[in-house]
Structure 1
Amino acid sequence: VEGNTITQARQAGIRAIESTGLTVAGNDIADCGNGGVLVWRWSAGEDGTIVSGNRIARIGAEDGGTGENGNGVNVFRAHGVIVSGNHISDCAFTAVRANAANNVQIAGNTCLRSGEVAIFSEFGFSGALIANNIIERAANGISVANFDHGGRLAVVANNIVRDLVTEGPYPTDDQGFGVGISVEADVAVSGNVIDGAPRFGLVLGWGPYLRDVSASGNVIRDAAVGIAVSVVEGAGAAMISDNLISGADRGAIVGMRWSEPASGDLALSGAEDFPNVTVSRNRA
């Protein structure tokens, strides 16, 4: 599906269901009611669709909800999908949203002014590569979530996340908006640059939903808290090393009990009080 101009679709610009080897490339999709490109399967399975080089703009959420509508590219239950090199702007919710999608690659996209999370890998997925994207003026930058539903295994690397905002499309939850990157289970977070996160630069885990996360080599500027890491009972291991954190006026690295601080600045001292967290060689 190549080279088309699609505007003002009541539901979605392109909806692909139960695909095999589909390519969606070089299309111009704008002003659609609920979605830009939807890659769905009725039951989870291998799909292999490639969504590349499209320009997607002004996608609404006319039918409401908390994320099922309002996405530039939405991958649902489809495994092995590649979403790359797209320019996606002004979506009511998310530029690229992958739900229960294994082995998804989300790479090299430009995501501007997303109303909720710019790039989202959520619910029962295993395997997500989120790399080399540019995100600007989203409510939240990147979220790899739902370990409570089996969501795990990701690399989040070499992204630019900047100038986040604190207002979203629904009343805020405890974590709030204005978060650069948040992850939960079996994730390497490296080489990202986060510039301007009103709440947290990085969030590692939420309550007990934290396991085997490494955050290294990231640059975080002008975040209220540079890195927030869960230290509640039952939280798993987190290694925080070799990050550069500047302008974090509420702490460079802070242990959290859900939304409440449970430590001082661990970049300075006190990390030994939390056996699940290793903090080393950070500059704050």
Structure 2
Amino acid sequence: MINRRLVLAGLAGLASGSTLPRFAQAQMAAATGMINAVEFGLQPGSPDDQTAKFNALLTKASAAGEQIFLPPGTYIASGLQFPAYVNLAGMSGKSRIVFGGRNGLISANGADHVQLSGLLIDGDDRWLSESVRGLVELSNVGYLVLDDCQIIGARKNAVDLFKCGGRIERTRISGATDAAIFAADSTGLRITQNEISDCGNGGILVQRYEQGRDSTIIVGNRVEKIRADAGGTGQNGNAINVFRADNVIVSNNVINDSAFTAIRGNSASNLQITGNNCTASGETAIYSEFAFEGAVIANNLVDGASNGISMVNFDSGGRMGTCSGNVVRNLSTRGPYPGTFGIGIAVEADISVTGNVIESAPLYGIQLGWGTYMRNVIATGNIVRASGEGIYVSVVKGAGSAIISDNIIQDAKNGGIVGHSWADITVKDLTRKGASDYPNLILERNVVS
């Protein structure tokens, strides 16, 4: 019979900072029906590389369909090859797997089920081999569970996934030189309630190598301090980046201090970006750009960025969406490269801009179109305060239709609603002259003061 009091006593001792006694390790593993890794030869705290013993244990447990308990301590390993079934659990913050420096640390290809919980996975800032993409590199895994883990010190990506389904949740990732999570061609992935910080080139990256349905859910994460060490004009430095992946949800994330974008959707159709809190973005805070069709950007807060929200690139097929209920404020004309900055919300084709509040956009509060790249846009019921121009609208020959109605524009230093030919001002104030010269425009019931 399991002596649960002994197990609890061991856990209490661990909580106070002492090492879990060996008898308590065995009791705990037995009580939960796990294999105790120590009983099969692994030695916590050993200075030796324990890869061979670890791989043998993984193979044995996989064949029996059993879970492994990794007692508190440090285990040095390189090249752990996960078999078809892996269920490896540790004591949160105490069971530490450290990369020994040869090739990579953890990999799997074609596994049915991989579950890691309560582990501290430490890359020790050691270089990975050229062929290795991430500290934890998994391909074609039917169902992945990464829960309540911590991953630190990864060269390249901390977690690199290809054609994987499952969930990554309640996990802390910091110090990756590339991205915290890179997920390509996913098969039903959920990324929720993670804490990501101090990464060199990206936070959460979801992409497909060919455009298609992806359906990844990215909800409730905290992402901060994302740099762009590899440079560029937006391919790096994004807290959350969705590329060529359709039907993705990005919701209720808290994002701070990204070198470029808090949330960037590039060629991502049917993308929903809702309820996110985005502060201190170095470029455009929220993007839906290039060849997208169908995007919903709603109820987000943007405070501090070069541009607020952009739904653009009609020239590349970017069209169709709604931009509603967002708060955008404290923008800057300074950006990470030469460009046009200081715009609250910019849209181009088949998009409704409704019920947004924009304050302190030094160039334009709302930009409707760019030259001939404007079709079927609506700006209604918005509040624009303390901007350069309140609303920019394209009036060049060949521009499509726009309805601008029921907006309140206050303290627009360079005009309330201004007609543009590309960057040049054509009509200083359309509310005074009227829009009769431009049959593609309808302006009604706007208040400019």
Same fold (TM over 0.5): yes
- Partner of residue 270, structure 1: 434
Amino acid at match of 1:235: A
2:417 pairs with 1:253: yes
Contact 1:264 1:270 in 2 (8 A): no
CA distance in 2, matches of 1:195, 1:76: 30
The percentage of aligned residue pairs carrying the same residue is 55
Cα displacement (A) at 1:81 = 0.2
Calculate the TM-score normalised by the size of structure 2: 0.62
Secondary structure at the residue paired with 1:148?
helix
- Partner of residue 113, structure 1: 280
Instruction: Please list the CA deviations of residues 224-255 of structure 1 after superposition, one character each: whole Å capped at 9, or x if unmatched.
Output: 10000001111000100000000012111000
Secondary structure at the residue paired with 1:41?
strand
2:238 pairs with 1:74: no
The alignment of Structure 1 onto Structure 2 pairs a total of residues equal to 281
Question: Equivalent residues in 2 for 1:115-264 (5 A)?
Answer: 115-172=282-339, 176-264=340-428
Secondary structure at the residue paired with 1:268?
helix
Cα displacement (A) at 1:268 = 2.1
RMSD: 0.7
Cα displacement (A) at 1:179 = 0.4
2:212 pairs with 1:45: yes
Cα displacement (A) at 1:120 = 0.3
Contact 1:80 1:103 in 2 (8 A): yes
CA distance in 1, matches of 2:379, 2:332: 23
Cα displacement (A) at 1:74 = 0.2
Secondary structure at the residue paired with 2:436?
helix
Question: Equivalent residues in 2 for 1:5-20 (5 A)?
Answer: 5-20=172-187
Amino acid at match of 2:397: E
Structure 2 unaligned spans of 5+: 1-167
More strand by share: 1
Structure 1 unaligned spans of 5+: none
CA distance in 1, matches of 2:229, 2:428: 44
Amino acid at match of 1:193: V
- Partner of residue 60, structure 1: 227
Secondary structure at the residue paired with 2:315?
helix
Cα displacement (A) at 1:147 = 0.3
Contact 1:263 1:270 in 2 (8 A): no
Instruction: Please list the CA deviations of residues 189-226 of structure 1 after superposition, one character each: whole Å capped at 9, or x if unmatched.
Output: 00000011001000000010000001000000001100
- Partner of residue 36, structure 1: 203
CA distance in 1, matches of 2:414, 2:276: 31
CA distance in 2, matches of 1:17, 1:224: 41
Amino acid at match of 2:424: E
Amino acid at match of 1:5: R
* Superposed structure 1 runs of 4+ greater than 4 Å apart: none
CA distance in 2, matches of 1:158, 1:32: 31
CA distance in 1, matches of 2:321, 2:267: 13
Secondary structure at the residue paired with 1:273?
coil
CA distance in 1, matches of 2:432, 2:253: 41
Cα displacement (A) at 1:276 = 1.6
CA distance in 1, matches of 2:442, 2:374: 14
CA distance in 2, matches of 1:27, 1:275: 51
The structure whose RCO (Cα within 8 Å, separation 6+) is larger is: 1
Secondary structure at the residue paired with 2:362?
strand
Cα displacement (A) at 1:267 = 1.8
- Partner of residue 158, structure 2: none
Cα displacement (A) at 1:264 = 2.3
CA distance in 1, matches of 2:423, 2:397: 14
- Partner of residue 109, structure 2: none
Cα displacement (A) at 1:274 = 1.5
Amino acid at match of 1:279: L
Instruction: Please list the CA deviations of residues 66-107 of structure 1 after superposition, one character each: whole Å capped at 9, or x if unmatched.
Output: 111010000001100000000011101000000110100000
CA distance in 1, matches of 2:272, 2:261: 16
Calculate the TM-score normalised by the size of structure 1: 0.98
More helix by share: 2
Secondary structure at the residue paired with 1:124?
coil
CA distance in 2, matches of 1:109, 1:13: 19
Instruction: Please list the CA deviations of residues 139-194 of structure 1 after superposition, one character each: whole Å capped at 9, or x if unmatched.
Output: 0000001100000001000000001111100012xxx2110000000000000000
CA distance in 2, matches of 1:6, 1:147: 36
